[in-house]
Amino acid sequence: MDYLEEIQKRRTFAIISHPDAGKTTLTEKLLLFGGAIHVAGAVKSNKIKRDTASDFMEIERQRGISVATSVMGFDYRGLRINLLDTPGHKDFAEDTYRTLTAVDSVILVVDCVKGVETQTERLMEVCRMRKTPVIIFINKMDREGKNPFDLINELEDKLNITARPLSWPVSMGSSFRGVYNLYDRSLYLFNPGGNTLPDDDGLAIDDLNDPLLDKLLSDHASQLRDDAALIEGVCAPFEKSQYLDGNVAPVFFGSAINNFGVRELLDTFIAIAPGPGARPAESRVVTPHEKNFSGFVFKIHANLDPRHRDRIAFLRICSGKFERNKLYHHVRLGKTLRFRSPASFMAQEKVLIEDAYPGDVIGLYDTGNFKIGDSLTEGERIMFQGIPNFSPEIFKEVVNTDPAKAKQLAKGIQQLTDEGVAQLFTQNQGNRKIIGTVGELQFEVIQYRLLHEYGASCRFNPLDFFKACWITSEDGQNIKAFCRYKTERLAADKDGNLVFFAESRWRLQREMEDNPEIKFHFTSEFRTVEENCNSAAPPVRPHASYPLP
Ligand code: G4P
């Protein structure tokens, strides 16, 4: 198979949902169809029920330290499908956002009883921002849920996207009879399924006036005819290009737990979902067809086995062919690295690979070279965009409670923040360490991991800050003037960039108005490749300012 064919056969996507909508169940059923697993129950839910660190860590451990399920590759109808896992818990939303940079499309699961929930709205915002194509699966149709037309309206209102039903349910809950596929004009009858694969194909019914429909659906047939006429009357015909541009989301209905609507979803997915797309880098757009290899790290996973301190960096390949044992250029460090045992993840197994192609996600064993957002190339200085740190909203000072373990604590904090668990800010020449996160749970996770993986103990002193933002200016004198009398509210991030802590939204607004010459940035993605490669010196240069989020 040649290089082009290899690229064309790849489909890399993520399933996203509000917790409990059915992401884990759907993932599992897709893997069953793909032959990647043979029994249901093999994919552990990443649901955190008690909201505590030990619960989270236990789940991580049960899932084989998440590594096995971080990427789930399988072959289906001649295509290589890479399904990337996203954490369900809202405190780990940043991890999900970063994973979304590594996919080419998304399946969004919505619970028909609950409709669009907050987490769904936030995740969808990220997809819209990046114009990621989205297919929506409305799940749990075996339950009495919201009226399907109301659901479609809710999707459009809350997610700000045109929702185009490609299948339509025949009733729901206890009287759920199945779905009619408006695209291939077939009827799929509901047959509560469980864990095995249903092999029944849809029944082709081209004309909804066919009397067979009355025979099969009795009273529900006329409702389906009315609904279908209304949809065809109101909705524009489905155009694949509109979906690929991220403007229209095709909608399917089903019940993941009953294996219903899942194969239909998967078959449509492979028919319309995009293959590996171009990726914006700081200086140019990188296309998958380029000969030279490039890729970026979007996730780092520490091995939780305390005896082994190695980590796995997950790299999305953007262009060219990756080869085992070849020398590659680590752009930020300016180092040349060779990877002896790169892994891919097929059918939940880690497999040593010889090569990999755009769209693939590979695991690289790392001894501390990688940070999230790092890129690997054949020499070109490329920094990919869209993998930022967001300005955190919860801040705590780290207080060492075991002075004999100060070194371990420093190392642990360094490594955990490299993984993207949280952000580290330092004051007072590095002597005062402040951790910033977007969720409370991360602090518990950090404390737990510092103790279990590094033998270090600490406590956290809450700090009353509203937000941290990166500050820059065209003129270094402006920064100097701004910084005067603000030592308590200034810190350096891990790369030495200057960060300002605002106590309140009002205060931040005031500072922005009073200091128009200073730019306040709400994501870390404002550095140039040079600044990233030489991050000891804080950048002082013009930038577009960001609106207050
Ligand atoms: P998540 O990953 O999005 O958090 O959701 P998950 O798949 O874990 O599903 C959440 C709950 O919804 C699970 O029940 C699951 O069995 C149920 N579920 C998933 N799909 C369907 C469906 O099509 N119909 C119905 N009725 N339920 C569905 P649970 O009680 O929380 O867990 P479990 O004890 O069943 O594992």
Structural element, H or E, at residue 17: strand 10-17
CA-based nearest residue to 242, from 131, 159, 126:
131
Ligand 1 pocket residues where CB is under 6 Å: 17, 19-25, 45, 47, 88, 139-140, 142-143, 255-258
- DSSP string spanning 115-134? BS-HHHHHHHHHHHHHT--E
* Structure token pair of residue 76: 């289906």
The answer for residues whose C-beta is within 8 angstroms of residue 368's C-beta and 6 or more apart is 311, 415, 418
Q: How far is the CA of 25 from the centre of ligand 1 (A)?
A: 6
Return d(Cα 395, Cα 463) in angstroms, integer: 5
Return d(Cα 319, Cα 379) in angstroms, integer: 13
List, run by run, the mean pLDDT of 10-residue segments along the chain (549 residues): 89 91 88 72 51 54 51 89 79 78 95 90 83 96 96 95 94 92 88 60 84 89 93 92 96 93 91 94 92 93 63 92 97 94 75 93 89 93 78 89 92 85 84 87 85 90 91 89 88 88 92 92 65 42 32
Token pair 């207050």 in the structure block, residue: 548
Token pair 């933002």 in the structure block, residue: 469
The DSSP bridge partners found for residue 186 are 181, 204
Return d(Cα 344, Cα 355) in angstroms, integer: 9
CA-based nearest residue to 323, from 376, 266, 368, 383:
376
Return d(Cα 202, Cα 77) in angstroms, integer: 18
Q: Measured in whole angstroms, how far is the alpha carbon of residue 452 from the centre of its chain?
A: 27
Interhelix angle 441-454/53-62, rounded to 10 degrees, is 60
Query: What's residue 13's pLDDT?
Result: 96
CA-based nearest residue to 377, from 342, 341, 419, 335:
335
Which atom number of ligand 1 is nearest to the Cα of residue 18?
A: 3
Q: How far is the CA of 434 from the centre of ligand 1 (A)?
A: 38
3-state secondary structure of 355: strand
3-state secondary structure of 304: coil
Q: How far is the CA of 257 from the centre of ligand 1 (A)?
A: 7
Q: How far is the CA of 227 from the centre of ligand 1 (A)?
A: 28
Which atom number of ligand 1 is nearest to the Cα of residue 258?
A: 23
Which atom number of ligand 1 is nearest to the Cα of residue 260?
A: 23
Q: Measured in whole angstroms, how far is the alpha carbon of residue 96 from the centre of its chain?
A: 3
Domains with residue ranges and CATH for the chain: 3-275 (3.40.50.300), 280-377 (3.40.50.300), 394-533 (3.30.70.3280)
Largest CA distance in the chain: 82
Q: How many beta carbons lie within 10 A of that of residue 1, not counting itself?
A: 8
Phi, psi of 356 (to 5 degrees): -155, 160
Would you state the torsion angle of the CA atoms of residues 42, 365, 52, 442, taken in this order, to the nearest 10 degrees?
Answer: -140
Strands (E) located in 370-497: 375-377, 394-400, 423-427, 432-437, 458-463, 467-473, 490-492
Q: Measured in whole angstroms, how far is the alpha carbon of residue 30 from the centre of its chain?
A: 18
CA atoms within 13 A on the CB side of 491: 24
Report yes or no: 21 and 110 within 8 Å, Cβ to Cβ.
Answer: yes
Q: Indicate which residue's Cα is closest to atom 24 of ligand 1.
A: 140
3-state secondary structure of 394: strand
Query: What's residue 538's pLDDT?
Result: 36
Report yes or no: 432 and 397 within 8 Å, Cβ to Cβ.
Answer: yes
CA-based nearest residue to 498, from 536, 545, 549, 544:
536
Query: What's residue 431's pLDDT?
Result: 81
Q: How far is the CA of 20 from the centre of ligand 1 (A)?
A: 6
Query: What's residue 542's pLDDT?
Result: 29
Query: What's residue 462's pLDDT?
Result: 94
Query: What's residue 61's pLDDT?
Result: 57
Phi, psi of 211 (to 5 degrees): -60, -20
Which atom number of ligand 1 is nearest to the Cα of residue 143?
A: 26
Q: Measured in whole angstroms, how far is the alpha carbon of residue 179 from the centre of its chain?
A: 30
